[in-house]
Structure 1
């Protein structure tokens, strides 16, 4: 799949993340899965890291300079926006989980490219 298709997927996924984050806390069903909140953040941003890296014209370690800060910034903005949503709050721990997810996802793409 070329980088332009990944860019479309990336935009759709980013809208999806922001849509989930804008749900009021009261409307989110209580589930045992939510007790794994940080793991969910990590997986969510792991996918974002994969999409970000694949949306670049060239995939190299140099692109980490763009991808990782963008992923961190997006996670911080997502958390900031959540602070305005009823029943939701912002958490530095969530940003940390988001950051780890973006890093792992983007490094996985680079590792897979080197093995090809």
Structure 2
């Protein structure tokens, strides 16, 4: 995964966007509160796709994939950890958010792997 790769740059931009979004205070979120878990899932699904896409050059390597899954697991832990450690208005650390985040990442990662295999199998 080269830092000069456009895939890596998109990934890093997305992670920075997510982390900045996570520490920004929310004035009112009552309208979207019922969609909270869905938003978390989709946000981290996209992260899973982008991350695995960035670490897979041309061939799917199980070691790269497992390393990617490990690193991906750390991101929502850091995200919820920041919300737990610092009192950010409108933000609350939630274990259920953490679980949904990780599920979203894993589903996104697996979806990309299946897509990658289908594309390279069919030429």
Q: How high is the TM-score relative to the length of structure 1?
A: 0.86
2:15 aligned partner: 14
Q: Secondary structure at the match of 2:89?
A: coil
Q: 1:28 to 1:8 in 2, by over 3 A?
A: farther
Aligned partners of 1:94, 1:23: CA distance in 2, in Å?
17
Deviations 1:81-116 (A, max 9, x none): 112123322111111111111111111111011111
Provide runs of 4+ in structure 1 moved above 6 Å. Answer: none
Structure 1 segments unaligned to the other structure (5+ residues): none
Q: Is the 8 A contact 1:61 1:110 kept in 2?
A: no
Rg larger for: 2
100, 103, 111: which one aligns with 1:100: 103
- Partners of 2:103 and 2:60 lie apart in 1 by 19
Contact 2:28–2:90 (CA<8 Å) still a contact in 1?
Answer: no
Aligned partner of residue 78 in structure 1, secondary structure: helix
**How many residue pairs were aligned?**
113
* Structure 2 unmatched ranges of 5 or more: none
Alignment of structure 1 residues 1-116 onto 2, 5 Å: 4-25=5-26, 27-31=27-31, 33-58=32-57, 59-60=59-60, 62=62, 63-83=64-84, 84=86, 85-116=88-119
Tell me the TM-score normalised to structure 2 length: 0.82
Q: Distance in 2 between matches of 1:15 and 1:90?
A: 19
